[in-house]
Amino acid sequence: MTNRARIIEIAEAEIGPQGKGSARVYHYWREVLPPSWSDAQVKLYAKTRDWCGGFCLWVLKQAGIAQDIYWQDGIGFLGPAGLRQTKTPSRGDIGYMPQPFQHHLLYAYEHDGKVHSVDGNQPDVRQRARPRQGMVFYSIEPLLPRAVPSAIRRVDEIDMPEAGFVRGQKHSVPGIQDKE
């Protein structure tokens, strides 16, 4: 599987309910904010900030291609990561909608004039399809040569006991039925 395909696979594995301040959103921010940030700072950030960009960076880190990149408050990660704009996005590239909400998304593909993506902070993680108008895309190509294969982890291999997520256990979310 290519790094680009892995990015979308990881993002799609996160589809479902989470919200600002949730344990899962805290986990995203804990991994993408600088290690110098205290747990209290990360918890406050997770409760008060939109997390679409943090989610995109978290996915890139899980795919092993952004290990040394951290979110910069007020700046984000696109510029610091050296990502350049592209008019021809590829799977796994970052989409950005400057108006009205400064929203980040993971580009999956385009079909019938619509961009299909995986988005965080919607208020959950979900797949979206929307017109391309107003979107700017950033290529992750400069990051691919820096990929760290040993860093690739399946999302279901991550233990998060503080949030009640432990490998090998079935997890349920109130109001959501598992598909058997």
Angle between helices 3-13 and 52-62 (to 10 degrees): 130
The architecture (CATH level 2) of 3-163 comes to Alpha-Beta Complex (3.90)
Domain residue ranges in the chain: 3-163
Span 53-93, pLDDT tens digits? 999 999 999 999 999 999 999 999 999 999 999 999 999 99
Using CA atoms of 119, 123, 127, 133 in order, give the dihedral in degrees to the nearest 10: -60
pLDDT at 162 over 80: no
Q: pLDDT class for 21, splitting at 50, 70, 90?
A: confident
Burial class of residue 107 (count of CB atoms within 10 Å of its CB; 0-12, 13-18, 19+) = buried
pLDDT at 119 over 50: yes
Q: What is the mean pLDDT of the chain?
A: 86
